[in-house]
Amino acid sequence: MRILVVGSGGVGDAVARIAGRRDFFERMVVADHDTARAERTVAAVQAHPATRHPERFVAAHVDASDEEGIAALAREHGVTHVLNAVDPRFVMPVFRAALAAGADYLDMAMSLSRPHPEEPYARTGVRLGDEQFAEEDRWRAAGRLALVGMGVEPGLSDVLARYASDHLFSHITELGTRDGSNLVVLGDDGEPVFAPSFSIWTTIEECLNPPVVWERSRAEAGGSTEAGWYTVPPFHEPEVFDFPGGIGPVECVHVEHEEVLLMPRFLQADKVTFKYGLGEEFIGVLRTLHTLGLDRTDPVRVRGSDGAPVAVSPRDVVAACLPDPAGLGDRMQGATCAGVLVTGTGKDGAPRAAYLHHVVDNAWSMSEYGAQCVVWQTAVNPVVALELLAGGAWAGAGVLGPEAFDAVPFLELLAAPEPAGYGSPWAVQER
């Protein structure tokens, strides 16, 4: 297996650090538009005492918007698998470049949505992943695999839903992904400061786009899986969810997320939801950004610092004002939890509610990998998936979500202690 990682921001960097300890591939090309950043990642991995075969890692330059350039880079290195680790604006060029280069493809976020033009908070417009699924025939015809949404959420959450579906439940009323943390970032004075622990660009996209929900009854009434999706207003149906792992209660609201688009395609459930534990302060910040139009991605014209007029996306400027979340690990405290709350009927016929989840403590991921916990938790899952694909435990063609594959080998490999596995356990909490 020869892997091209497109993007060496927080997640791409952690992918390389995690993969450094594994033997299943013969080359990893770490590429970024900022070549020096890719080179820093490769140098760090090569210098780490736990890294095996450091010569497997090479840095390269790439422009994630340039489909032909990505394909050329993949061919140059004989790449068999392209892992997309840039922000979701660039999903389609990277996705198409992989197929053009004859490689399989993985990502951690799917192609972007566009709201319904007339009823944005009631009906879906273009949905997350629609552009990718529209090209599924080409992938299937080529016998190539696009494994989409293979981070932690989407990703591990989908794997956990598949596990619950296969092994814990006979009927599922709701697959409810729930994500929360008690992370705080400390300032120079030791007091907590405002600093999102994940890409603000993606967080705004997730939280201010119309949240999406799927219901089987609507799908059946409409005669198609597609008919089951609908939207609700931002920050809809707040609920306090009590997270395990010492995190405790966090206010969660509906947001737009890939799980809701993936699970109904591959699993049986009456309802599929995603709620994100944003907390009150963060919800307030997002509301204000939206009120002021600073969440917008269409450019506004301003004078640049040299006096000449320039056009910039307000959301890019917001992101540029905040610290890079990947660099906050050593000022961060707490843990993050991803998981899916499954409700329905157990295998024994009795009502059951179980929260299948995975907790990562920041102090652990920093000391073990030098990666902050949200970034590490996102990055470990595509590496596990690549290892399963390399060994043949997972195989397929077309555009598939993580829940299309057997969950057991994935969860075993993730949880098994090193060196056999990745040493990161998951758990089931009965509710």
Q: Which stretch binds a second copy (CB under 8 A): 3-11, 170-178, 290-298, 416-424?
A: 290-298
CB of 268 or CB of 297, closer to a second copy: 297
Q: Which stretch binds a second copy (CB under 8 A): 119-127, 233-241, 316-324, 368-376?
A: 316-324
Q: What are phi and psi of 246, to 5 degrees?
A: 80, 5
Query: Among 370, 379, 377, 278, which residue's Cα sits nearest to residue 329?
Result: 370
Q: Give the footprint of a second copy on residues 56-75 (CB under 8 A).
A: 65
User: What single-letter amino acid sits at 370?
Assistant: G
CA 328 to chain CA centroid, Å, is: 19
Examine residue 302 and tell whether it contacts a second copy (CB under 8 A): yes
Examine residue 294 and tell whether it contacts a second copy (CB under 8 A): yes
Q: What is the DSSP letter of 328?
A: G
Separation in Å, CA 209 to CA 113, 149, 201, 206: 8, 18, 12, 6
Tokens of 69: 């350039």
Examine residue 324 and tell whether it contacts a second copy (CB under 8 A): no
Q: Which stretch binds a second copy (CB under 8 A): 209-217, 257-265, 288-296, 351-359?
A: 288-296
Q: Which stretch binds a second copy (CB under 8 A): 73-81, 102-110, 158-166, 285-293?
A: 285-293
CB of 134 or CB of 300, closer to a second copy: 300
> Residue from 296, 393, 408, 416 that binds a second copy (CB under 8 A)?
296
Q: Give the footprint of a second copy on residues 167-196 (CB under 8 A).
A: 194
**DSSP alpha helices (H): ranges in 48-187?**
67-76, 91-100, 130-133, 136-142, 156-163
Examine residue 350 and tell whether it contacts a second copy (CB under 8 A): no
Q: What are phi and psi of 321, to 5 degrees?
A: -80, -20
Q: Which stretch binds a second copy (CB under 8 A): 118-126, 179-187, 300-308, 347-355?
A: 300-308
- Burial pattern 237-270, b for ≥16 Cβ within 10 A else e, equals eeeebebebebeebbbbbbbbbbbbbbbbbbebb
CB of 236 or CB of 296, closer to a second copy: 296
Examine residue 305 and tell whether it contacts a second copy (CB under 8 A): yes
CB of 39 or CB of 66, closer to a second copy: 66
Examine residue 311 and tell whether it contacts a second copy (CB under 8 A): yes
Least CB distance from residue 195 to a second copy, whole Å?
10
Examine residue 202 and tell whether it contacts a second copy (CB under 8 A): no
Examine residue 417 and tell whether it contacts a second copy (CB under 8 A): no
Q: What is the DSSP letter of 121?
A: T
Query: 38: alpha, beta or left, given left = phi > 0 and alpha = psi -120 to 50?
Result: alpha
Contact call for residues 181 and 197 (beta carbons, < 8 A): yes
CB of 97 or CB of 106, closer to a second copy: 97
Query: For tokens 């993936």, what's the residue?
Result: 262
CA 36 to chain CA centroid, Å, is: 25
Examine residue 92 and tell whether it contacts a second copy (CB under 8 A): no
Quick one: angle between helices 373-391 and 156-163, nearest 10? Answer: 60
Contact call for residues 241 and 250 (beta carbons, < 8 A): yes
> Residue from 187, 304, 351, 417 that binds a second copy (CB under 8 A)?
304
Binding site for a second copy (CB under 8 A): 65, 194, 284-285, 288-289, 291-294, 296, 299-307, 310-314, 316-322
